[in-house]
Amino acid sequence: MTLNSGKDVRYSKPGTFGKVCVLPCDDEWEGCIYSEKEITVYCKIKADELILLTVIVRYGKGFLEK
């Protein structure tokens, strides 16, 4: 979902690209309730193959405002 519908990440290393998606969640994580989940995916393409580098998930609120 993040790769298909996420927004481009502004800052990524040359040769890589990133996509970010913010979703409403209202979930509990480590004893706290968070209203949003931000998912960032970093990839690169090498020899016409998509290589997943990392996925970062952050819980919080106000991600859409930034």
Local confidence band at 65 (pLDDT 50, 70, 90 cut-offs): low
Residues 7-39: tens digit of each pLDDT: 988 888 888 999 999 988 888 878 888 899 999
Residues 37-64: tens digit of each pLDDT: 999 999 999 998 999 999 999 988 888 7
Q: Is 6 exposed, middle or buried (0-12, 13-18, 19+ CB in 10 A)?
A: middle
Domain boundaries, the chain: 2-61
Query: Would you list the DSSP string of 9-36?
Result: PS---TT-EEEEEEEEEEEEETTEEEEE
Whole-model pTM: value is 0.80
- Distance between CA atoms of residues 18 and 13, nearest Å: 9
* Higher pLDDT pick, 4 / 38: 38
Tell me, what amino acid is at 49? E
pLDDT over threshold 70, residue 66: no
Whether the Cβ atoms of residue 35 and residue 44 lie closer than 8 Å to each other: no
